Structure 1
Amino acid sequence: MSPAALPDPVPLSGSLLQEDPARVYREMRREHGSVVPVLLDGDVPAWLVLGYRELHQITGDAVLFSRDSELWNQWENIPEDWPLLPMIGRRQPSILYTVGERHRLRAGMLTAALEAVDPFELRGYTERFADELIDGLCSKGSADLVAEFAMLLPVRVLARLYGFSDEEGPALVTALNDMIDGRERALAGQTHLFTSMTALVAGRREAPAEDVVSRMLADTSGFTEQEVVQDLMVMMAAGHQPTADWIGNSLRLMLTDGRFAASLFGGRNSVAEAMNEVLWEDTPTQNVAGRWASRDTQLGGRRIRAGDMLLLGLQAANSDPQVRTDGSALTGGNSAHFSFGHGEHRCPFPAQEIAEVIARTGIEVVLDRLPDIDLAVPAASLTRRPSPWLRGLSELPVTFTPTPALGGTLA
């Protein structure tokens, strides 16, 4: 059967999915198994893959489960104003939707450009921008670490790595967060990011430098400036929001779970442990769209039709009881989670490493500069943004003893 013919598809929305996704995934798994018929906005049918093994199968077979959205059998039912079009687009020119040899070459270009990032410079940029952000709030004694720190840090570092000047950074932060906000400012944010990226690529074509953009332009695979711009925009968006949520979710865990209390007094191992636990239990990227079946097949006992869309349930797969028989996955930095994807369309390894350095360094700066930090509200009152795709805090209000800015004095 196709998803539309099934009697019991589950709407991929609702407050419970925001408040307690683990419960939702458990109930889905109990009632439907590892592959669940779901409805997206506008009652558009899809399959949500919850099983670890099934997700491994999908992401490991790029021929049967293609990234080519042109295969989708629902395009005739999709209106032009469908809210998920920016995420599940048609004929999108970025690396997200290229397949085969063209994708391999494109991924190689991105990977090489990111691998060349100097790790000492990366940490130095992150520390500098993190200190600047803490300087702006440390004298107040209270702050929202989501709005005033986590949502501002990753894009500033990424912009510097790409080749933007520090003066251009704040406007890029505003543009990207406006895009994420998804309301009336989203189009203006996207326009600013595209215009800025286009100008940077054109400038680096004329005058190369030691940055990611210049290295991508030096690649000999024949990609156009327009393709480079699209990939840079994808990398900026994919690198910023999940990393910001990784910072926020990790700080929340450290401030609410007694196992990590030592890290609030200068410990370092606990930071890495908290970040790893978040990737398993509270991963920023909960679900990803998508893959499209290139022919009729079977998956998890379900009959999948050619052109059906499959959503990757990353968080649900991480908590699959078939592979999580004990808590061992959370120890020793186990990285067998799906938080960065799997297969040829996974997040490139250098990008994962960059995100980890930004998140860990940012958290360490917070703990160094605000050593007596504490939640300003009960943990149970913390809320999440309403999204089935990305899981992050709406805010993280904290209190601390006011301290002077570096090189400054208390106002």
Structure 2
Amino acid sequence: MTQPAYPPVPLSGPLFQTDPVELYRRIRREHGAVAPVVLDGDVPAWLVLGYRELHQVTSDPVLFSRDSELWNQWDAIPADWPLLPMIGRRQPSILYTVGERHRERAAVISDALEAIDPFALKERAERFADELIDGLCGKGACDIIAEYAMLLPVRVLASVYGFADEQGPALVTALNDMINGQEGALAGQRHLAESMFALLAAKAETPGDDVASRMVANTAGFTVEEVAQDLMVMMAAGHQPTADWIGNSLRLMLTDDRFAASLSGGRHSVGEAMNEVLWEDTPTQNVAGRWASRDTHLGGRRIGRGDLVLLGLAAANSDPHVRADSGALTGGNNAHLSFGHGEHRCPFTAQEVAETIARTGIEVLLDRLPDVDLAVAEDGLTRRPSPWLRGLTALPVTYTPTPALGALA
């Protein structure tokens, strides 16, 4: 990477946990729309903070490629580098395919997701949400993150993909272990992979009305391994950000007086809170990566061939050049970049699935626990210390104990 004549910014530290908005503001003030940063192990990269510059990068997949083989730092990357699971080499998933192959692969995913019945999806989300709340409603207190938000998305996704309901709890454990880097991360990854290959084998024999069956039946010529990898990426990418979307939206609604009405029975503010979170507190803060396929200039910086370029989604959303007159938080404005942009963005169908799961999860919780209230002071809430995904480590709440739905029948 071409070394700048000014000190790069470590992409770590407590401000990512406590005040990332101020951190991005400071970086933009000191470095402009494109800033030099260092990742774990002093690995250099560029962070794109400008809305227009990020739009430029994501609109040009030839110049700013997803081909990780282009990276000019591979010789300096140790085998145990902690970001290898995120920035891998020769990974077989759709994340690192490029060109026509990527477009064909993305079409297979989109076709499979578009066939999901939106009413059936909402029904599944309501059913699993009610099931989870049945286990909480009599307690009078719970942690929404650990006991609800981190459980709901993967249960719904597993069902939509074709897994039997009884397989859901083990998949929840496996995926959360992988995401949290716990001691069982490798075992969780192995369980998810084995489960996915077994699912595809079963659907090849006995297809159903599910995403896995539709992807297996697609005639685009992808191998079972490629389909399995893409399904695993889709499940991981759909689970954690959606869980954080639920948690961040509920935090906003429980701490901001503007949303108090929705906590007394109304639903009109749920969508507004979710949209505001995507602008101000987006679950996916930064994304790696793109690699420059040739020397170029971006935001007044010289980017060298093979340099790693990171997408600063949260910083771009708060870019003052586009926020001043955008009406970002009014009228459901969805010009945010929280789902990315360009051909490598999160597919629109996947965005719709995530929104249905998150919104249904929030609405069911507010319906079932109408007097839910924060159990600690707002400044007592903590975030995970990550520059990549922003979410609460816990959201403790209290509420009046109520009987489970089954007890009312």
TM-score (norm 2): 0.99
Partner of 2:373: 374
Partner of 2:132: 133
CA distance in 1: counterparts of 2:7 and 2:153, whole angstroms: 41
CA displacement, residues 157-183 of structure 1 (integer Å, 9 cap, x when unaligned): 000001000000000000000001113
Determine if contact 1:67/1:292 at 8 Å carries over to the other structure: yes
Q: Which amino acid aligns with 2:310?
A: L
Determine if contact 1:3/1:37 at 8 Å carries over to the other structure: no
CA distance in 1: counterparts of 2:265 and 2:110, whole angstroms: 34
Determine if contact 1:264/1:367 at 8 Å carries over to the other structure: yes
CA displacement, residues 100-148 of structure 1 (integer Å, 9 cap, x when unaligned): 0000100000000000000111000000000010000110100000000
Correspondence 1:383 to 2:386: no
CA distance in 1: counterparts of 2:182 and 2:378, whole angstroms: 28
CA distance in 2: counterparts of 1:237 and 1:394, whole angstroms: 18
Determine if contact 2:4/2:36 at 8 Å carries over to the other structure: no
Runs of 4+ in 1 over 4 A off after TM superposition: none
Partner of 2:14: 15
Give the SS at the match of 1:45: strand
CA distance in 2: counterparts of 1:214 and 1:407, whole angstroms: 33
Q: Which amino acid aligns with 1:90?
A: R
CA distance in 1: counterparts of 2:220 and 2:3, whole angstroms: 42
CA distance in 1: counterparts of 2:321 and 2:102, whole angstroms: 33
Partner of 2:62: 63
Give the SS at the match of 2:83: coil
Q: Which amino acid aligns with 1:239?
A: G
Determine if contact 1:314/1:341 at 8 Å carries over to the other structure: yes
Q: Which amino acid aligns with 1:26?
A: R
Q: CA RMSD in A?
A: 0.9
Q: Which amino acid aligns with 1:387?
A: S
CA distance in 2: counterparts of 1:116 and 1:145, whole angstroms: 31
What is the 5 A alignment of 1:82-121?
A: 82-121=81-120
CA distance in 2: counterparts of 1:77 and 1:262, whole angstroms: 54
Determine if contact 1:11/1:38 at 8 Å carries over to the other structure: yes
Determine if contact 1:3/1:46 at 8 Å carries over to the other structure: no
CA displacement, residues 374-411 of structure 1 (integer Å, 9 cap, x when unaligned): 000001110001110000000000000000000227xx
Offset of residue 5 of structure 1: 4.8
Q: Which amino acid aligns with 2:382?
A: T
Partner of 2:297: 298
Partner of 1:146: 145
Give the SS at the match of 1:103: helix
Determine if contact 2:66/2:98 at 8 Å carries over to the other structure: yes
Offset of residue 327 of structure 1: 6.7
Q: Which amino acid aligns with 1:69?
A: S
Offset of residue 283 of structure 1: 0.1
Partner of 1:225: 224
Determine if contact 1:3/1:47 at 8 Å carries over to the other structure: no
Decide which moves more: 365-374 or 179-188: 179-188
Partner of 1:124: 123
Give the SS at the match of 2:233: helix
CA distance in 2: counterparts of 1:39 and 1:396, whole angstroms: 31
Correspondence 1:353 to 2:363: no
Determine if contact 2:383/2:393 at 8 Å carries over to the other structure: yes
Q: Which amino acid aligns with 1:80?
A: A
CA displacement, residues 315-369 of structure 1 (integer Å, 9 cap, x when unaligned): 0000000001157111111110000000000000000000000000000001000
What is the 5 A alignment of 1:337-348?
A: 337-348=336-347
Give the SS at the match of 1:329: coil
CA distance in 2: counterparts of 1:210 and 1:381, whole angstroms: 45
CA distance in 1: counterparts of 2:254 and 2:326, whole angstroms: 21
Q: Which amino acid aligns with 1:190?
A: Q
CA distance in 1: counterparts of 2:172 and 2:4, whole angstroms: 44
CA displacement, residues 8-63 of structure 1 (integer Å, 9 cap, x when unaligned): 00000001121100000000000000000000000000000000000000000000
Decide which moves more: 178-187 or 306-315: 178-187
CA displacement, residues 269-295 of structure 1 (integer Å, 9 cap, x when unaligned): 200000000000000000000100000
Q: Which amino acid aligns with 1:393?
A: L
Give the SS at the match of 2:37: strand
Decide which moves more: 333-342 or 180-189: 180-189
The percent of aligned pairs where both chains have the same amino acid is 76
Offset of residue 6 of structure 1: 3.8
Correspondence 1:181 to 2:180: yes
Q: Which amino acid aligns with 2:371?
A: D
CA displacement, residues 62-95 of structure 1 (integer Å, 9 cap, x when unaligned): 0000010000000000000000000000000000
CA distance in 2: counterparts of 1:23 and 1:387, whole angstroms: 15
Give the SS at the match of 1:344: coil
Q: Which runs of 5+ in 1 are unaligned?
A: none
CA displacement, residues 243-279 of structure 1 (integer Å, 9 cap, x when unaligned): 0000000000000000000110122220000000000
Determine if contact 1:3/1:9 at 8 Å carries over to the other structure: no
CA distance in 2: counterparts of 1:278 and 1:210, whole angstroms: 33
Q: Which runs of 5+ in 2 are unaligned?
A: none
CA distance in 1: counterparts of 2:39 and 2:193, whole angstroms: 28
TM-score (norm 1): 0.98
What is the 5 A alignment of 1:256-267?
A: 256-267=255-266
Partner of 1:323: 322
What is the 5 A alignment of 1:190-339?
A: 190-326=189-325, 328-339=327-338
